[in-house]
Amino acid sequence: MDNADTTVKPEMFSLPDKYYLTTPIYYVNDKPHIGHSYTTILGDILARYHRSENVPTFFLTGTDEHGQKVQRAAEAKGITPQEQCDTTVVRFQELWKRLGISNDDFIRTTQPNHKKVVQEILQDLFERGEIYKDHYKGYYCVPCERFFTTKDLKEDRLCPECGRETSEITESNYFFRMGKYQDWLIEYIKTHPLFIRPVFRANETLGFLKSGKLGDLCISRPKARLSWGIELPFDTDYVCYVWFDALINYISGVGYRQDDEKFKKWWPASCHLIGKDILTTHTVYWPTMLKAMGVEIPQTIFAHGWWLIDDAKMSKSTGNVVNPMDMIDLAGVDAFRYFLISAMTPGQDASFSQETFMTRYNSDLVNDLGNLLSRVIKMTLRVGDGVIPQHGEFQKAEYDLAAAVDNAIVTTSAAVDTMRLDYGMEQVMNAVRAGNRYLEQTAPWTLAKKGETERLNTVLYCSAELLRIVSILLDPVMPEKMAEIRYALGLSKDQTVQFNVSELRKFNSINVLSGLKVRDIDALFPRYVLPEKVKSKPVEMIETNTEGVALIGIEDFSKVQLLTAKVLEAAKVDGTDKLLRLNLEVGVEKRQIVSGIARFYTPEQLIGKLIVLVANLKPAKIRGVESQGMLLCAKGANGDLKIITVDGEFSSGASVG
């Protein structure tokens, strides 16, 4: 499961009594990027899901505001470190607000209560002999704010973590006796398989611990070299090492040494979400610190992968950082949230480009989910007077649809427990696609023409119920858009999710839609074409023997919406011998197009044909007649032309491609 196994096992899932979730606290030396956004959005979705299941939940995020990087950033701007913190923290807080992050608290390590807790812990450990003073000689990396021994370094004394140059330092410092807990930690990891996830990250930590003797941790910095930090209570010439300070936020944020009742309620943490680059600090430093303090170990530390650009980690120094605001402005907050969670398997790396973002957006959200909502609402308005009816007897089509929906419900629950949210969303979108196929199979527009009212009512109801369930399953991911779906189905726009996932089991278990009047809304997800100026570098094309053919990528093809359309009427356009005007049925819509096929087909030959329509072509006027799309034809070498049609009995409005 942790190794990207797509077999999600529902029986593994059980709801906890409480859920305390944290993100790392982020450095305030620069503005947030997509990596920060991913971790926080992932945390927000997990928190929202548990709240929807009525599990008491506490979600903590915040900022790490001490250390040399912050001090240097402030010096470069000619401001104080506190001013640097106060200025930069706003960027995180504003972005989290715009991303819809539902954190219960936002901790800053410059808060007086946090500093007090850190100093109390330091004093206690010092008095019990867990901290001692000694001389130190080693290599220091400023960006990572960590010391390394000679054997740790890469060639040319480069940092093993970030690859940057290190500085050799010899000085007196204070040390935490981390090494004494080496054997204990190895045994703890072996006997607690859920402590470090995915499992290969646990093996990575074990490999590190078994590679040699674990050294003690330098937990101080001389003020002569670094003044921006929490002062050691037992030696005012030193400040606390930023990582020792930062990790303590996970307990100070829920009342440790301040509010015993609150701390007992939430600790131990259910899950620390981290990036894989801070695995050692969280799976070696943190548990040994807690062991020395006599505090229980967190249940799970989950390390996710990196977002890559051209197979390289995003980094300010390389200039390949993606600004979340750019993607939000392009397609909206909910679409951005959906992409980040659906495109990365937690634990693995994922590649980002604006093309892949828009391809998934147009495919999953525009063509599948948005199209399904539009079809159901327009169909109900047209043939059901806008009222969702009571359903009649279920047939095989309804049972097949119910199976797809039930699978999405079960998988979503299990995917949260197994940290496979990407797989859970894939199954929800499969249910959406099943809904589109259901409409094509049952052809409600035909049922309406034939007067088969009971059967039509069943199709209208089941289609709407599918959308209601999908809106609940995807609500933690896209809360604003899912509220719009429920509003379109006749529910209150301000209404919160009424039912948790556990109550959704079995299709039509709770009938809340019959009798509600649907509302026609704007497109749930407007179709976007990525502007040329923001496109990434072109994908390298594979050489072919086809000469004179311009190759396109899948991202280009996905911009074209092809739908089946039935020709209802056809007539010549006045004043021309080449043009025909066709009136089409496209699902529940009526469209008119103009096509230059009069030399090849008479109007009578076209009536009843099921053609392929380019549905998202910009409308144009041809000889004064508006054309709302273009049909597809095949042209032979001798100049003859044939309309591309669909084989066999099939409904209009179906997706082609």
Q: Are 61 and 25 in contact (CB under 8 A)?
A: yes
506, pLDDT greater than 70:
no
What contacts 26, CB < 8 A, 6 or more positions away?
A: 32, 36, 61, 62, 63, 64, 92
635 in the same domain as 584: yes
Q: Note the pLDDT of residue 508.
A: 60
Task: Report d(CA 391, CA 399) in Å as an integer.
Answer: 13
What contacts 391, CB < 8 A, 6 or more positions away?
A: 457, 458, 461, 462, 508, 514
Domain containing residue 416: 353-558
Dihedral of CA 633/636/639/640: which sign?
Answer: negative
C-alpha torsion 171→173→178→179, nearest 10: 40
Task: Report d(CA 425, CA 82) in Å as an integer.
Answer: 42
The residue-averaged pLDDT of 182-201 equals 96
Q: Are strands 580-586 and 562-572 parallel, antiparallel or unpaired?
A: antiparallel
As beta bridge partners, residue 642 has: 634
613 in the same domain as 548: no
220, pLDDT greater than 80:
yes
Q: What value, to the nearest 5°, has the Cα angle with vertex 600 and ends 594 and 601?
A: 65
The verdict on residue 572 lying in a domain is yes
| 134: helix, strand or coil | strand
The residue-averaged pLDDT of 538-542 equals 31
544, pLDDT greater than 90:
no
State the total domains in the chain.
2
C-alpha torsion 354→356→357→359, nearest 10: 120
The verdict on residue 651 lying in a domain is yes
The verdict on residue 82 lying in a domain is no
Q: Note the pLDDT of residue 295.
A: 98
Q: Which has more confidence, 173 or 637?
A: 173
As beta bridge partners, residue 108 has: 63
445 in the same domain as 424: yes
CATH number, residue 582: 2.40.50.140
* Interaxial angle between packed helices 421-442 and 453-473, expressed in degrees from 0 to 180 and rounded to the nearest 10: 170
Task: Report d(CA 443, CA 637) in Å as an integer.
Answer: 38
CATH number, residue 357: 1.10.730.10
Q: Which has more confidence, 563 or 320?
A: 563
pTM: 0.77
| 328: helix, strand or coil | helix
Q: One-letter amino acid identity for 494?
A: D
Task: Report d(CA 365, CA 525) in Å as an integer.
Answer: 6
459 in the same domain as 398: yes
531 in the same domain as 500: yes
Q: Note the pLDDT of residue 617.
A: 79
390, pLDDT greater than 80:
yes
573 in the same domain as 625: yes
The pLDDT tens digits of the residues spanning 65-120 come to 998 889 998 999 999 999 999 999 999 999 999 999 999 999 999 999 999 999 99
The verdict on residue 141 lying in a domain is no
47, pLDDT greater than 70:
yes
541 in the same domain as 569: no
Q: Are 452 and 501 in contact (CB under 8 A)?
A: no
Task: Report d(CA 469, CA 295) in Å as an integer.
Answer: 42
485 in the same domain as 409: yes
Q: Which of the residue ranges 314-328, 486-500, 566-580 would you say has the lowest mean pLDDT?
A: 314-328
The verdict on residue 156 lying in a domain is no
Mean pLDDT of the chain: 85
Per-residue burial over 570-589, b = 16 or more CB atoms within 10 Å of its CB, e = otherwise: beebeeeeebbbbebbbbbb
Domain edge (last residue) among 505, 539, 558: 558
616, pLDDT greater than 90:
no
Q: Which helix or strand (DSSP H or E) is residue 105 part of?
A: strand 105-108
Q: What percent of the chain has pLDDT over 70?
A: 85
552 in the same domain as 567: no
Q: CB neighbours (10 Å) of residue 191?
A: 8
516 in the same domain as 635: no
pLDDT-based confidence at 152, cuts 50/70/90?
confident
517 in the same domain as 567: no
530 in the same domain as 621: no
Task: Report d(CA 457, CA 389) in Å as an integer.
Answer: 6
Q: Are 4 and 345 in contact (CB under 8 A)?
A: yes
Q: Are 572 and 373 in contact (CB under 8 A)?
A: no
The CA-based diameter of the chain, rounded to the nearest angstrom, is 99
| 306: helix, strand or coil | coil
Q: Are strands 271-275 and 301-304 parallel, antiparallel or unpaired?
A: parallel
Output the CA–CA distances (angstroms, integers) from residue 575 to 173, 241, 580, 622, 623, in the order listed: 93, 84, 11, 12, 8
Q: DSSP string of 32-56? A: --HHHHHHHHHHHHHHHHHHHTT--
Q: Note the pLDDT of residue 324.
A: 63
320, pLDDT greater than 60:
no
pLDDT-based confidence at 531, cuts 50/70/90?
low
507, pLDDT greater than 70:
no
The verdict on residue 640 lying in a domain is yes
User: 355-369, 405-419, 454-468, 535-549: which has the highest mean pLDDT?
Assistant: 454-468
In which region does residue 148 sit, left (phi positive, over 0), alpha (psi from -120 to 50) or beta (all else)?
A: beta
Q: Are 264 and 56 in contact (CB under 8 A)?
A: no
